């Protein structure tokens, strides 16, 4: 089987991690795998891919008329369509909201089944009103809509729910290395953007740090909010207790020297780092944000859930766990058992079933010839 996977980039994000796992699984099954990313040749591939997998980079224009958002989107559609028309994959797997729209428009009329995967809270992501208008219409062309939680699938319009398949993110406990030692460190991981709520975490930690003088907070990740987060740390005189450590050189190395993990997000799709922390045997605290954490953590058993943007509640949860080593151990053990439901083998089997159903149905359906002439000229081909 020939597969094409389409994603925005090849960096250190949660989506890229899941794509890399799917790529490895399909390659191991003997498939011909192609990865398309709108990244430049200079961008590194953070998650390793097997030799034999073909990576197609489709970099965006960095300046000039083609760098404008609307023109850039059209340019992406035309370039991806040209590549997929030559490749003729058996199925396309697409990841993230705007990339899904690009993939569906790129394959229109080509007779290639498309599975689109939503990786976040679709209602909370900032989008131009035109995206909101066309999204339901374009998504109706998808063969399957892969949603990460039952809660997210219920946000779909009724007309699309019959196409929804719920597949969580994989987490292999055997491949997550355990912390080398239990330093008294709180860790958080994610892109430095408003979604992740690191401003709330900084305030919560600052409010209780005097009562736990041996503890520190390390936030891993990069993003546009670095400066304002650093200013917030300075304003609270926390430079010696709170650090912004950037992106780790090796995936998962943020687990080292950690005793407690916090997810402070305002919204999520399915938080990979929360699963990784639980798989590594860390006690966890998370906001009860839409979506994901409440379907992973049993509050008071395998972790603590707190309201979104509630500094006092997060501070109380931090204080409770920082002062109670026994409770941290209890949560860590329960969390470690929780991730069995999301083993890589289990999740990849669900992807395989979905891919096989779609490709089998596509082979049985009558093929219509591509419309040429004026339609082809309109598409720029």
50 with 165, same domain: the answer is yes
Do residue 300 and residue 364 come from a single domain? no
- Please give the residue that has the higher pLDDT: either 286 or 250: 286
Picking from 30-44, 190-204, 229-243, 249-263, which range would have the lowest pLDDT averaged per residue?
249-263
Over the chain, what is the mean pLDDT? 88
57-to-27, 34, 106, 333 alpha-carbon distances in Å: 19, 11, 16, 42
Q: Distance (Å, rounded) from C-alpha 302 to C-alpha 281?
A: 11
pLDDT one-digit tens code per residue, 52-84: 999 999 998 776 555 577 788 899 999 999 999
Binned at pLDDT 50, 70 and 90, residue 177 comes out as low
Q: Could you tell me if 237 and 104 lie in one domain?
A: no
Of 14-28, 64-78, 234-248, 278-292, the one with minimum mean pLDDT is: 64-78
Q: Which domain holds residue 28?
A: 2-170+344-378
Tell me, yes or no, if the pTM score tops 0.95.
no
58/126 same-domain check: yes
Give pLDDT, residue 94: 97
331 and 352 housed in the same domain: no
What's the pLDDT at 375? 42
Residues 157 and 213 reside in one and the same domain: no
> Which range among 30-39, 103-112, 117-126, 220-229 shows the weakest confidence by mean pLDDT?
117-126
Please check whether residue 264 is in contact with residue 282, taking contact to mean a CB–CB distance below 8 angstroms. no
pLDDT of residue 129: 54
348 with 335, same domain: the answer is no
Q: Residue 269 pLDDT more than 50?
A: yes
Q: Burial of 165 by CB count in 10 Å (0-12 exposed, 13-18 middle, 19+ buried)?
A: middle
What six digits make up the tokens of 145? 């809509």
Reported as a pLDDT band with limits 50, 70 and 90, residue 132 is low
Q: 166 forms bridges with which residues in the sheet?
A: 147
Which of 163, 147, 156, 157 lies closest to 358 in space, CA to CA? Answer: 163
Residue 379 clears pLDDT 60, i.e. is over it: no
Does 150 lie in the same domain as 180?
no
Residues 74 and 186 in one domain: no
The pLDDT tens digits for 83-111 are 999 999 999 999 988 899 999 999 999 99
Residues 219 and 110 in one domain: no
| CATH number reported for the structural domain that contains residue 140 in this entry | 3.40.50.2000
- In this structure, the answer to whether residues 164 and 178 fall within a common structural domain is no
Listed residue (275, 310, 359) closest to 1, CA to CA = 359
| 190 and 326 housed in the same domain | yes
Domain count along the chain: 2
């Amino acid at each position: 089987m020939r597969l094409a996977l389409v994603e925005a980039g090849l960096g250190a994000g949660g989506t890229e991690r899941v794509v890399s796992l799917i790529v490895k699984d399909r390659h191991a099954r003997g498939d011909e795998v192609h990865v398309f990313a709108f990244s430049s040749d200079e961008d590194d591939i953070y998650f390793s891919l097997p030799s034999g997998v073909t990576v197609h980079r489709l970099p965006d224009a960095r300046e000039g008329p083609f760098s404008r958002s609307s023109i850039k989107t059209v340019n992406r559609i035309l370039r991806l369509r040209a590549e997929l028309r030559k490749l003729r994959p058996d199925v396309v797997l697409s990841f993230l909201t705007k990339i899904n729209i690009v993939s569906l428009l790129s394959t229109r009329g080509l007779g290639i089944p498309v599975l689109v995967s939503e990786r976040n809270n679709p209602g909370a992501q900032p989008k131009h009103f035109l995206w909101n208008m066309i999204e339901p219409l374009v998504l109706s062309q998808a063969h399957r809509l892969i949603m990460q939680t039952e809660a997210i699938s219920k946000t779909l319009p009724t007309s699309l729910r019959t196409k929804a398949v719920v597949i969580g993110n994989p987490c292999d406990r055997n491949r997550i290395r355990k912390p080398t030692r239990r330093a008294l460190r709180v860790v958080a991981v994610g892109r430095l953007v408003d979604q992740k709520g690191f401003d709330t975490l900084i305030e919560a930690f600052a409010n209780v740090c005097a009562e736990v003088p041996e503890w520190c907070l390390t936030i891993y990740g990069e993003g546009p909010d670095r400066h304002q987060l650093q200013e917030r740390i300075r304003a609270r005189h926390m430079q010696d207790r709170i650090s912004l450590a950037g992106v780790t050189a090796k995936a998962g190395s943020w687990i080292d020297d950690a005793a407690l993990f916090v997810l402070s997000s305002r919204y999520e799709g399915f938080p990979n780092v929360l699963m990784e922390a639980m798989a590594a045997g860390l006690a966890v605290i998370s906001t009860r944000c839409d979506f994901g954490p409440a379907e992973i953590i049993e509050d008071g058993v395998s972790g603590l859930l707190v309201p979104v943007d509630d500094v006092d509640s997060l501070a109380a949860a931090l204080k409770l766990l920082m002062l109670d080593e026994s409770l941290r151990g209890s949560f860590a053990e329960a969390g470690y058992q929780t991730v069995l439901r999301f083993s890589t083998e289990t999740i990849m089997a669900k992807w395989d079933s979905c891919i096989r159903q779609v490709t089998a149905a596509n082979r049985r359906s009558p093929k219509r010839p591509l419309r040429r002439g004026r339609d082809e000229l309109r598409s720029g081909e």
